[in-house]
């Protein structure tokens, strides 16, 4: 053998070894995921067996019956209505409160907006002493303390922003049990880094004044959760130091693995666990085909907002990159929508300012990257639009779940095109299970038949529930046909094999372009977007694989032959493609997703009133004065005395705002309800948004110019 030949073969062998190693890595990842899934399914099966035939979600997974009666029932009801202004408990709230009041530890898994805060705030008021609440973000803590202040509850925070005077008050309260301190918020760093604080807490406990410990956003403890925070890992010390104090850990989402992790790390093996459904029945999920032309996408986003939410209803638009974020915000602004951007490149003050304007309804839309995350506490977000797909089902569930935390109908719209996939895959491929997670959300987007909700139920290992037509696929499934794409798939594989034989690489888009020029050989007449769909499907089915190559400036994703390519070539694997007629008319599915925005004049006036009162009580959010749900209840019931109003919003809010509310009711209770959408549709199609708003306001006659215009 000539040296040259040896070198050449050696190179080939090395390349092949690399390929095999890559495949082994992928298979190991897959095996790991399957093991995880096996554990989850086994525990689900056990739970199902234990509770009879099927697991009852929404009901406590506890053996004891925690609904009551208990001696504190009437006192709890009184605080719920007269302090919090909440007329009835939501699922599991009463039971969780009872567990804490009984001195037991509890793990609460309850969807975003389910009402977790009440579960520890109410017992904090009922029990003697100080409740310690650990929360991961300063902004979340500030929000909560402000809301508590609006309710007249003595809540403080001990953070880097706390004044010396307040710090002194807090330490004195902890040490001597003096003062009125009921709830103390801290970040996890306080527990792990401040010896002084821990020693004061020790004294507080010793004197019997530590009433309960609450760990909010508890998933931050687990590396398997989506927002791991190293300082959360040290919170196990709380149960070790204060074993007799009830500890409550709360989170919106936790897979079985994360739940087990939390119980172990927080040392609460015997806790009572409440798992509420992850289902958010008020959210309508839609995936819309994304145009390759950037401007068209923005036009569609703008049209969606203007048509469905013409009254400054709050929303979020998520983008892939910082640059895209700024661009989209700018273009929405040009189209008359009050929008601003939010991303990690901005300094903290600028970010905070944007967030505040939005929280106070002075800005309609925040266009953000993933950096706009956990601290969002606004309950009345009516829509969350994804300009690009998220990196996993879990991330999408979290981000879209910021809509409708007040329980009112809201929409989650994702713009998807296959070309966005390599952008994400070249970012996530090095993360643990990064590609698998990405492909799960891509499957969600590609499917035109399967209920969107079913993906969430499967992901969080929960039995399926009825979607009630609250996703595009359930609303439009009849328009989808499934075609056998095995033949074109074979052609794609052969083409790629030839290219690889000639040492040529191809990105997904290059491959699609090539295939587009070889329509005849494909054997079926597929449109460009259908070819993109096919290539992506082959990646999802592991017939093709994405491979990554680094340059000094970026990582490029290429499409190559995958582990199951042979099966396709041999006709042993059938490839199915779901083709929808829906995409022909991109705006066609708007009809069903768009809810008619019907409001009464009274609702408008009460909305204006809460904004006015929020300004008077500086710093409070309008929704802390009256939630959208309370506005709806008042408008429906039209109470005409303080006593009647008190039954809806409780004593405290009635005392503070009752006379102003009754004044509005007496003026506007009898005015006819108005369908704002219908009114807007009457106008010429090319009117500007400002004109439309003006027209709406004129037609309403009673609407004054408001301060929420930007």
Ligand X SMILES: Nc1ncnc2c1ncn2[C@@H]1O[C@H](COP(=O)(O)OP(=O)(O)OP(=O)(O)O)[C@@H](O)[C@H]1O
Q: Please give the residue ranges that form the binding site for ligand X (CB under 6 A).
A: 86, 89-90, 93, 110, 112-118, 252, 379, 405-406, 627, 629
d(CA 415, CA 286): 9
Task: Please name the helix (run of DSSP H) or strand (run of DSSP E) that holds residue 299, with its range, or none.
Answer: helix 294-308
Those residues with Cβ within 8 angstroms of residue 367's Cβ, 6 or more apart along the chain or in another chain: 316, 317, 318, 319, 325, 326, 328, 329, 332, 339, 340, 341, 342, 387
Tell me if 392 sits within 8 A of 379, measured CB to CB: no
Which does residue 597 bind out of Mg ion, ligand X, none, counting CB within 5 to 8 angstroms by kind?
Answer: none
Query: What letter would DSSP give residue 596?
Result: P
Residue 47, contacted partner among ligand X, Mg ion, none, CB below 5-8 A by kind: none
Q: Which does 188 bind (CB under 5 to 8 A by kind): ligand X, Mg ion, none?
A: none
225 binds, among Mg ion, ligand X, none (CB under 5 to 8 A by kind): none
Burial of 504 (0-12, 13-18, 19+ CB in 10 A): exposed
- Which of the stretches 24-32, 110-118, 129-137, 484-492 binds Mg ion when contact is defined by CB under 5 A? 110-118
Tell the smallest beta-carbon distance from residue 113 to ligand X (Å): 4
Out of ligand X, Mg ion, none, which partner does residue 112 contact, by CB within 5 to 8 A per kind? ligand X
Helix (H) or strand (E) holding 99: helix 93-101
> How many Cα atoms within 13 Å fall on the side-chain side of residue 691?
9
* Nearest distance in Å: CB 125, ligand X: 15
Q: Give 149 or 579: the residue with its C-beta nearer to ligand X.
A: 149
**At closest approach, how far in Å is the CB of 135 from Mg ion?**
8
Nearer to ligand X, 282 or 477 (CB): 282
Chain residue whose CB lies nearest ligand X = 115
By a kind-dependent CB cut-off of 5 to 8 A, residue 629 interacts, out of ligand X, Mg ion, none, with ligand X
Rg (CA), the chain: 28
For Mg ion (CB under 5 A), the number of binding residues is: 1
From ligand X, Mg ion, none, interface partner of 118 (C-beta below 5 to 8 A by class) = ligand X
- Select the binding partner of residue 405 from ligand X, Mg ion, none (C-beta < 5 to 8 A, by kind): ligand X
Residue among 200 and 355 whose Cβ is closer to ligand X = 355
Task: Give the C-alpha distances (Å, rounded to integers) separating 577 from 307, 418, 481, 516, 541.
Answer: 33, 14, 8, 17, 11
Q: How near is the Cβ of 89 to ligand X at its closest, in Å?
A: 5
DSSP-based three-state secondary structure for 226: coil
Closest distance between Mg ion and the C-beta of residue 143, in Å?
10
Contacts 24+ apart (CB under 8 A), 554-560: 554/426, 555/426, 555/427, 555/429, 556/426, 556/507, 557/422, 557/425, 557/426, 557/429, 557/507, 557/508, 558/505, 558/506, 558/507, 559/496, 559/506, 559/507, 559/508, 559/511, 559/535, 560/496, 560/500, 560/505
Q: How many CB atoms lie within 10 A of CB 88?
A: 9
Q: Which of 136/488 has CB closer to ligand X?
A: 136
Nearer to ligand X, 113 or 622 (CB): 113
What is the smallest separation between the CB atom of 116 and ligand X, expressed in angstroms?
3
What tokens were used for 658? 């009752």
Single out the segment in contact with Mg ion by CB under 5 A; choices: 114-122, 264-272, 433-441, 651-659. 114-122
For Mg ion, the closer of residues 116 and 417 by Cβ is 116
Cis peptide before 69 (omega within 30 of 0): yes
Instruction: Look at residue 126 and give the partner it binds from Mg ion, ligand X, none, a contact being a CB closer than 5 to 8 Å depending on partner kind.
Output: none
**Hey, is 202 helix, strand or coil?**
helix
Strand partners, 674: 599
- Which of 402/453 has CB closer to ligand X? 402
Give the shortest CB-420-to-ligand X separation in angstroms: 27
Task: Give whichever of 116 and 611 is closer to Mg ion, judged by the CB atom.
Answer: 116
Give least dist CB 143 to ligand X, A.
9
Instruction: Tell me the two tokens of residue 158.
Output: 């001990």
379 contact, one of Mg ion, ligand X, none, CB 5-8 Å limit per kind: ligand X
CB of residue 79 vs ligand X: minimum separation in angstroms? 13
Q: Which residue has the tokens 């500030």?
A: 142
Q: From the CB of 106, what's the least distance to ligand X, in Å?
A: 14
- When the beta carbons of 61 and 648 are compared against ligand X, the nearer one is 648
Give min distance, CB of 498 to ligand X, in A: 52
Q: Give the nearer residue to ligand X in terms of CB position, either 325 or 403.
A: 403
Provide, rounded to whole angstroms, the least separation between the CB of residue 115 and ligand X: 3
Q: How far apart are CA 606 and CA 661, in angstroms?
A: 7
* Under 8 Å between Cβ of 108 and 62: no
- 375 binds, options Mg ion, ligand X, none, Cβ within 5 to 8 A by partner type: none
Smaller CB distance to ligand X: residue 111 or 577?
111
Return all residues near 217 (Cβ < 8 A) that are at least 6 apart.
Answer: 135, 136, 140, 227, 250, 251, 252, 374
Least separation in angstroms between residue 290's CB and ligand X is: 28
Closer Cβ to ligand X, 443 or 632, answer by number: 632
For residue 535, how far is the Cα from the chain centroid?
29
Find which of Mg ion, ligand X, none residue 426 binds, CB within 5 to 8 Å per kind: none
- Picked from Mg ion, ligand X, none, the partner binding residue 86 (CB below 5 to 8 A depending on kind) is ligand X
Nearer to ligand X, 379 or 658 (CB): 379
Residue 627 binding: pick among Mg ion, ligand X, none (C-beta 5-8 Å cut-off by kind): ligand X
Choose among Mg ion, ligand X, none what residue 40 binds, the Cβ cut-off being 5 to 8 Å by kind: none
Measured from the CB atom, is 83 or 534 closer to ligand X?
Answer: 83
Stretch that binds Mg ion, among 116-124, 179-187, 223-231, 402-410 (CB under 5 A): 116-124
- Minimum CB separation of residue 252 from ligand X in Å reads 4
Q: Quickly list H helices, 477-627.
A: 486-501, 508-516, 519-522, 528-540, 565-569, 590-593, 601-616, 622-625
Stretch that binds Mg ion, among 109-117, 196-204, 436-444, 518-526 (CB under 5 A): 109-117
- 365-368 and 314-318: which strand pairing? parallel
* 49: Cβ contacts below 8 Å, ≥ 6 apart: none
Segment near Mg ion (CB under 5 A); pick from 47-55, 112-120, 602-610, 670-678: 112-120
**For residues 470 and 630, which CB has a smaller minimum distance to ligand X in the complex?**
630
Let me know: does 363 contact 340? Beta carbons within 8 Å.
yes
Burial class (CB in 10 A: 0-12, 13-18, 19+), 537: buried
Neighbours of 472 (CB within 10 A): 23
Query: Shortest distance, CB of residue 668 to Mg ion, whole angstroms?
Result: 34
Choose the contact partner of 645 out of ligand X, Mg ion, none; CB within 5 to 8 A by kind.
none
Q: Which of residues 198-257 bind Mg ion (CB under 5 A)?
A: none
Strand order in the sheet with 365-368: 283-289, 410-416, 381-386, 314-318, 365-368, 339-342
Query: Rounded to whole angstroms, how far apart are CA atoms 434 and 429?
Result: 5
Q: What is the dihedral of CA 694, 699, 704, 706, to 10 degrees?
A: -40
3 state SS of 675: strand
Shortest reach from residue 117's CB to Mg ion, in Å: 5
Comparing CB distances to Mg ion, the nearer of 149 and 419 is 149
* Residue 560: φ, ψ to 5°: -135, 180
Tell me which residues touch Mg ion (CB under 5 A).
116
């Amino acid at each position: 053998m000539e040296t040259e030949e040896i070198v050449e073969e050696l190179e080939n062998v090395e390349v092949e070894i690399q390929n095999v190693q890559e495949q082994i890595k992928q298979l190991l990842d897959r095996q790991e995921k399957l093991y995880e899934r096996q554990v989850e399914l086994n525990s689900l099966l056990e739970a199902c067996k234990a509770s009879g035939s099927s697991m009852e979600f929404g009901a406590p997974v506890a053996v004891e019956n925690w609904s009551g009666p208990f001696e504190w029932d009437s006192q709890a009801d009184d605080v719920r209505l007269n302090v919090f202004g909440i007329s009835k408990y939501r699922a599991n709230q009463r039971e969780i409160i009872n567990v804490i009041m009984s001195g037991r530890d509890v793990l609460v898994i309850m969807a975003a907006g389910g009402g977790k805060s009440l579960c520890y705030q109410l017992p904090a008021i009922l029990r003697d002493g100080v409740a310690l609440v650990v929360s991961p973000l300063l902004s979340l803590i500030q929000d909560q303390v402000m809301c508590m202040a609006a309710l007249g509850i003595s809540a403080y925070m001990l953070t880097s922003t706390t004044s010396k005077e307040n710090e002194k008050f807090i330490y004195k309260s902890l040490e001597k049990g003096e003062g009125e301190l009921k709830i103390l918020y801290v970040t996890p760093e306080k527990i792990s880094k401040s010896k002084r604080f821990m020693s004061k807490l020790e004294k507080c406990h010793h004197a019997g004044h530590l009433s309960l410990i609450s760990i909010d956003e508890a998933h931050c403890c687990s590396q398997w959760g989506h927002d791991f925070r190293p300082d959360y890992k040290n919170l196990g010390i709380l149960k070790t130091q204060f074993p007799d104090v009830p500890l409550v850990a709360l989170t919106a989402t936790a897979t079985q693995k994360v739940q087990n992790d939390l119980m172990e790390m927080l040392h609460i093996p015997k806790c009572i666990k409440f798992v509420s459904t992850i289902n958010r029945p008020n959210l309508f999920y839609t995936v819309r085909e994304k145009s390759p032309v950037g401007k068209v996408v923005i036009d569609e986003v703008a049209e969606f907002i203007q048509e469905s939410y013409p009254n400054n209803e709050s929303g979020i638009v998520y983008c892939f990159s910082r640059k895209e974020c700024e661009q989209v915000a700018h273009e929405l602004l040009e189209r008359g929508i009050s929008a601003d951007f939010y991303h990690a490149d901005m300094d903290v003050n600028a970010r905070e300012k944007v967030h505040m304007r939005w929280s106070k309804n002075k800005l309609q839309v925040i266009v953000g990257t993933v950096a706009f995350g956990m601290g969002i506490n606004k309950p009345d977000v009516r829509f969350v639009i994804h300009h690009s797909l998220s990196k996993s089902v879990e991330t999408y569930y979290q981000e879209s779940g910021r809509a409708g935390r007040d329980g009112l109908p809201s929409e989650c719209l994702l713009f998807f095109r296959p070309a966005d996939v390599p952008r994400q895959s070249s970012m996530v491929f090095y993360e643990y299970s990064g590609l698998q997670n990405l492909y799960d959300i891509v499957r969600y987007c590609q499917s035109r038949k399967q209920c969107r909700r079913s993906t969430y139920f499967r992901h969080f290992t929960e039995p399926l529930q009825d979607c009630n037509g609250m996703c595009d696929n359930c609303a439009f499934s009849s328009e989808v046909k499934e075609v056998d794409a095995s033949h074109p798939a074979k052609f794609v594989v052969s083409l790629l094999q030839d290219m690889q034989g000639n040492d040529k690489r191809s990105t997904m888009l290059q491959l699609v372009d090539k295939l587009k020029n070889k329509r005849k050989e494909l054997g079926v007449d597929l449109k460009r977007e259908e070819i993109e769909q096919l290539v992506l499907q082959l990646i999802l089915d592991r017939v093709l694989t994405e491979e990554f190559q680094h340059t000094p400036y970026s990582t490029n994703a290429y499409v190559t032959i995958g582990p199951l390519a042979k099966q396709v070539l041999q006709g042993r694997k059938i490839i199915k493609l779901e083709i929808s007629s829906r995409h022909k008319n991109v705006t066609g599915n708007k009809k069903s997703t768009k809810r008619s925005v019907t409001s009464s004049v009274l609702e408008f006036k009460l909305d204006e009133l809460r904004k006015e009162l929020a300004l008077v009580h500086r710093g409070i959010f309008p929704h802390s004065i009256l939630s959208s749900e309370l506005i709806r209840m008042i408008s429906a019931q039209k109470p005409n005395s303080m006593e009647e109003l008190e039954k809806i919003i409780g004593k405290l809010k009635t005392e503070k705002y009752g006379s102003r509310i009754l004044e509005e009711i007496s003026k506007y209770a009898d005015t006819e309800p108005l369908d704002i959408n219908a009114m807007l549709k009457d106008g010429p199609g090319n009117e500007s948004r400002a004109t439309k708003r003006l027209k709406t306001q004129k037609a309403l006659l009673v609407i004054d110019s408001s301060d929420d215009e930007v």
